[in-house]
């Protein structure tokens, strides 16, 4: 029988009624003849709550124990979904990551899936089971410890299962009815897209559009998984949602396809570091070792052999960054005059493969922000995106203004 992967995010399994509604959705596909692999998230809010508990208990926590705690929300929903389906007389059972086993790297809290053996679940399908429910977001390392795949990681679990089982499609059920030109919560002018290219979705996701985890888009692109994002609150239809597909399948060719934002960024500046060969390695090496995800980097011009180095990172990693830099200073591998931290910034980005052929896109972005009186603190660009760091209080305004300026509400 053909296999379908259906992933239900936190809001789609937020309580028993929602789980029942999702189960009906699964039953609909089972009735069509699919063997279904359901990937579930934790009930909405649960993972955040557990992350809070971990931080409160141990601010510079052991990531192995963080994973042990925060992976548990998915176990609850997987079991409940299996029970609900059994109540509907559909043969179903749950799997935790380690039972499959979803084998991952040992990079706790941001592990990557290395392998998903299919024999275990396939054998059960062979015995008449119709639905395998797998706890998303989690796996097991070669050391036998529970790992998690980073926030939003159930999307990646879903795509990885679709690839491993050669599923006909991977449907990501969430609380919006597809992928929009920007987060529909920021502007009501956001427009739903029927299709979006892997490349653009990859950029949007990595720049903060959390509708899909970045790694899930990467995997779908690499393994040619047919990936669809749709709402779990709407009636079933074969054309619902947004399809993530190859560039060639898309007719629309605008310079900009979407606007993404990342709200909780921090900007850190090392004032007056020695401008010598190896200084960047001496700063960013320890930050990487401490697990800080450095994003934008700017080095000032130097004066009298000293310079300022600015970088951005997620605001919840500031403590780790500070302690890594202080330790590097204490063992004399770097020396700086002062470390200045601005925890009140956000990143806003425009993305589009059309930028490759349209000139003046960045200039138009900067002019739009100027007209709104928004000061730009840091800029980075690539072939298909421009990102700026700005004061967080202007983030919504910037997204709305850019969405208007690039006519994203119009087809």
Is 47 a binding residue for ligand ASP by CB under 6 A? The answer is yes
Residues 331-370 that bind ligand ADP (CB under 6 A): none
Q: How many CA atoms lie within 13 A of 303 on its CB side?
A: 4
Q: How many CA atoms lie within 13 A of 40 on its CB side?
A: 33
- Asked if 19 and 80 touch (Cβ cutoff 8 Å), the reply is yes
Q: In what order do the strands lie in the sheet with 113-115?
A: 113-115, 103-104, 138-140, 146-148
Minimum CB–partner distance for residue 45 and ligand ASP (Å): 9
Minimum CB–partner distance for residue 202 and ligand ASP (Å): 17
C-beta closer to ligand ASP: residue 153 or 352: 153
Q: In what order do the strands lie in the sheet with 258-274?
A: 297-299, 306-314, 258-274, 338-351, 385-391, 378-382
Is 137 a binding residue for ligand ASP by CB under 6 A? The answer is yes
- Asked if 8 and 39 touch (Cβ cutoff 8 Å), the reply is yes
Site string for ligand ASP, 188-227 (x = CB under 6 A): ----------------------------------------
Contacts of 294 (CB under 8 A, 6+ apart): 284, 287, 288, 311, 312, 313
C-beta closer to ligand ADP: residue 37 or 176: 176
Selection from ligand ADP, Mg ion, ligand ASP, none that 73 binds (CB < 5 to 8 A by kind) is: ligand ASP
Minimum CB–partner distance for residue 131 and ligand ASP (Å): 19
Minimum CB–partner distance for residue 210 and ligand ADP (Å): 5
Residue 83 to residues 18, 43, 90, 275, 370, Cα–Cα distance (Å): 14, 16, 10, 62, 56
Both structure tokens of 347: 């990143």
Member of 39, 131, 209, 325 binding ligand ADP (CB under 6 A):
209
C-beta closer to ligand ADP: residue 210 or 254: 210
Member of 10, 97, 136, 139 binding ligand ADP (CB under 6 A):
10
Both structure tokens of 42: 């934790």
DSSP β-ladder status, 103-104 and 92-95: unpaired
Is 9 a binding residue for ligand ADP by CB under 6 A? The answer is yes
- Tell me how far apart the alpha carbons of residues 221 and 217 are, in angstroms, rounded to a whole number: 6
Member of 27, 179, 257, 401 binding ligand ADP (CB under 6 A):
179
- Helix, strand or coil for residue 90? coil
Minimum CB–partner distance for residue 210 and Mg ion (Å): 6
Q: What is the dihedral of CA 298, 210, 350, 112, to 10 degrees?
A: 50
Is 189 a binding residue for ligand ADP by CB under 6 A? The answer is no
Binding range to ligand ASP, per CB under 6 A, among 27-35, 149-157, 351-359, 376-384? 149-157
Minimum CB–partner distance for residue 180 and Mg ion (Å): 15
Contacts of 238 (CB under 8 A, 6+ apart): none
Question: Which secondary-structure segment (H or E) carries 349?
Answer: strand 338-351
Site string for ligand ADP, 30-49 (x = CB under 6 A): -----------x--------
Binding range to ligand ADP, per CB under 6 A, among 49-57, 180-188, 281-289, 316-324? 180-188
In sign, the C-alpha dihedral spanning 309, 311, 315, 319 is negative
Is 154 a binding residue for ligand ASP by CB under 6 A? The answer is yes
Is 406 a binding residue for ligand ADP by CB under 6 A? The answer is no
C-beta closer to ligand ADP: residue 134 or 321: 134
The DSSP secondary structure of 49-77, one letter per residue, reads HHHHHHHHH-TT--HHHHHHHHTHHHHHH
DSSP β-ladder status, 242-245 and 195-197: parallel
Is 153 a binding residue for Mg ion by CB under 5 A? The answer is no
Member of 152, 153, 208, 352 binding Mg ion (CB under 5 A):
152
C-beta closer to ligand ASP: residue 10 or 178: 10
Contact footprint for ligand ASP (CB under 6 A) = 9-10, 41-42, 47, 73, 136-137, 151-155
Contact footprint for Mg ion (CB under 5 A) = 9, 152
Contact footprint for ligand ADP (CB under 6 A) = 9-12, 41, 152, 174-176, 179-180, 182-185, 209-211, 258
């Amino acid at each position: 029988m053909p296999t379908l992967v259906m992933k239900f995010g936190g809001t789609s399994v937020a309580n028993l009624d929602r789980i029942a509604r999702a189960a009906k959705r699964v039953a609909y596909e089972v009735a069509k003849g699919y063997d279904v692999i359901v990937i579930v998230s934790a009930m909405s809010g649960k993972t955040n709550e557990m992350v809070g508990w971990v931080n409160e208990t141990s601010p510079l926590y052991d990531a192995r124990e963080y994973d042990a705690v925060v992976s548990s929300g998915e176990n609850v929903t997987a079991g409940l979904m299996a029970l609900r389906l059994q109540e509907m007389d559909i043969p179903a059972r749950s799997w935790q990551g380690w039972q499959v086993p979803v084998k991952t790297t040992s990079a706790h809290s941001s592990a990557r899936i290395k392998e998903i053996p299919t024999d275990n679940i396939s054998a059960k399908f062979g015995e008449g089971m119709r639905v395998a429910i797998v706890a998303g977001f989690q796996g097991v390392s070669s050391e036998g410890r529970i790992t998690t795949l980073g926030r939003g990681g159930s999307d990646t679990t879903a795509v990885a299962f679709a690839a491993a089982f050669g599923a006909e499609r991977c449907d990501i059920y969430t609380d919006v009815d597809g992928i929009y030109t920007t987060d529909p919560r920021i502007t009501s002018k956001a427009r739903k897209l029927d299709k979006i290219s892997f490349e653009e979705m990859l950029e949007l996701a990595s720049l903060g559009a959390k509708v899909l985890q970045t790694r899930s888009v990467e995997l779908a692109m690499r393994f040619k998984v047919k990936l669809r994002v749709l709402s779990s609150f709407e009636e079933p239809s074969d054309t619902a949602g947004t399809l993530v597909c190859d560039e060639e399948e898309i007719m629309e060719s605008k310079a900009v396809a979407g606007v993404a934002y990342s709200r909780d960024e921090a900007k850190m500046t090392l004032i007056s570091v020695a401008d010598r060969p190896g200084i960047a390695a001496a700063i960013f090496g320890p930050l990487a070792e401490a697990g800080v995800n450095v994003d934008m980097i700017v080095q000032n011009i130097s004066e009298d052999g000293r310079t300022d180095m600015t970088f951005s990172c997620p605001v919840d990693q500031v403590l780790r960054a500070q302690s890594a830099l202080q330790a590097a200073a204490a063992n004399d591998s770097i020396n700086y005059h002062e470390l200045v931290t601005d925890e009140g910034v956000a990143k806003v980005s425009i993305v589009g493969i059309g930028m490759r052929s349209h000139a003046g896109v960045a200039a138009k972005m900067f002019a739009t922000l100027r007209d709104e009186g928004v000061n730009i603190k840091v800029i980075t660009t690539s072939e298909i995106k421009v990102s700026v760091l700005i004061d967080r209080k202007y983030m919504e305004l910037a997204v709305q203004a850019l969405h208007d300026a690039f006519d994203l509400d119009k087809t």
